[in-house]
Amino acid sequence: MISHPIPPVYDENSRVLVLGSFPSVKSREQGFFYGHPSNRFWRVLSALAGKEVPSTIDQKRTLLLSMGIAVWDVIQSCDITGSSDSSIKNVIPNDLTDLLNRSKVIRIFVNGKTAKKYYDKYLLPKVGIQAICLPSTSPANAICSLDKLISEWKIITE
């Protein structure tokens, strides 16, 4: 069983919550979200904000908060092999109560189908907000181009 090592990023002005499934090995090593260099999350958000792609954790946190975006994951702990979402078992979900109570989040998006599956199963009944599933920014979703991701993800800024 591996526990989620990264606290959520949000503040009182966050209006949108983006949830992944569980941090990759690279993200767990770096101690921050979407740490694999091939993950396109930061390129997508930078394009949407019209900013440079952030390279440090502080720059990434600043970009998120400046856009009113909170980030966390659906899963608090699980059994997982490497970074493979398909290997996830024995899920214990995160509790979104504090994040939702201490922010202005009214819309929730999930980064990929695995996050959607576990959100719908564990969190939707508690939270009561339908999550919109966006195409995964993971390098495993190679079929989806960067331009397509930017186009699909634009909804988080509307």
CATH of 2-157, one of 3.90.1170.50, 3.30.9.10, 3.40.1180.10, 3.40.470.10: 3.40.470.10
Give percent above pLDDT 90 in the chain: 92
pTM given for the model: 0.96
What is the pLDDT, as a whole number, of residue 85? 84
Q: Are 48 and 152 in contact (CB under 8 A)?
A: no
- Is a pLDDT exceeding 90 seen at residue 142? no
CA distance 62 to 13: 13
Look at 115 and 140; give whichever has higher pLDDT.
Answer: 115
In the structure encoding, which two tokens stand for residue 59, read together? 């720059």
Q: What digits encode the pLDDT tens for the residues 33-56?
A: 999 989 999 999 999 999 999 999
CA distance 129 to 96: 11
Could you tell me the end-to-end alpha-carbon distance of the chain, in angstroms, rounded to an integer?
38
Q: What digits encode the pLDDT tens for the residues 53-84?
A: 999 999 999 999 999 999 999 999 999 998 88
Q: What is the mean pLDDT of the chain?
A: 96
